[in-house]
Amino acid sequence: IISEATGISQQGLGTPFAPGIWNDAQTEAWKPVVEQVHQAGGRIICQLWHMGRIVHPDFLDGEKPVSASATTAPGSVRTYLGKKDYAEARPLEVSEIPGLLDDYQNAAENALKAGFDGVQLHAANGYLIDQFIRSGTNLRTDEYGGSIENRIRLLGEVTQRLVDILGSDRVSVRLSPNGDSQGADDATPIETFTSAAKLLDKIGIAFLELREPPAHGTYGNTDVPRVSPNIRPVFKGPLVLNSDYFQENATAALAENKADAISFGRTFMTNPDLPERFRAGAELNPIDFTPTWYSQGPEGYIDYPTMEEKKAETA
């Protein structure tokens, strides 16, 4: 199990009621969750998250969020005070990067204290690391901007710090070479993300996960080139693909050696017995998006029925 995105610091967390893992209270609160997974014979890793410019100043006592450059995400965001337009971020100073690395290290060490089996660096979906990687949001002219090598520098430094603390077998990375993500885009995605994959291969990580929906999926875009075929030859570790996969296209992707595994998110949330449903060829529960997403109760999170529960209900 990969946990939901989990904040590494207050600076990096801008979603109401989202979890963090930067202090002792949060670390303690994760322990029973992790223990339940272990008691069931499972393994769980903590996805480490810094949202960058997606954090609204309301979460930062009015201070500007940080990003690669002074840019503003499109649209609006939910805060505890209601929906508000995103605010312009300030560029993260080079002098602040050692502190950012320390925040990732602290979160990783707390994850170990909580009992997690490893961590995943969230470097995808238009959040901080992705904002540095992509040319559309990284307008810097220092050693962290300009060339692809410079734009992926922060990705490499954070990953290396995590590997130094936990070991390469307990660190994975998530990238999203899928076109525009929350206003973050790149002019040369194949070159950029292939270079990122080469860097991660050189560092050595447990696996690389790509959020790259099939062209026909909900988030698929036929105008965006698929990058995973270029990453497959240069990243020698396990490659995991994600988003808009179901049994048929996931099985096909594995059979065609496009990946070593497929990960499931919303599909698993709405079908707690997803492997059994795949084995039986059973119908999946429909996803009930709007009323339950980001709510604080059990509805829409732990109340989707298993096949057996549905049979009993019908009977």
Look up 127 and say whether it is catalytic: yes
Backbone phi and psi for residue 195, each to the nearest 5 degrees, phi listed first: -65, -40
Would you call 217 exposed, middle or buried from its count of C-beta atoms within 10 A (0-12, 13-18, 19+)? middle
> Of the listed 80, 86, 104, 127, which one is catalytic?
127
The distance of Cα 10 from the centroid of its chain, to the nearest Å, equals 17
Q: Are 119 and 48 in contact, with CB atoms under 8 Å apart? A: yes
Query: What number of residues does the chain have?
Result: 315
CB atoms within 10 A of CB 62: 8
Q: Are strands 76-79 and 82-85 parallel, antiparallel or unpaired?
A: antiparallel
- Spatial distance between the Cα atoms of 143 and 162, rounded to a whole number of angstroms: 21
Residues annotated as part of the active site? 127
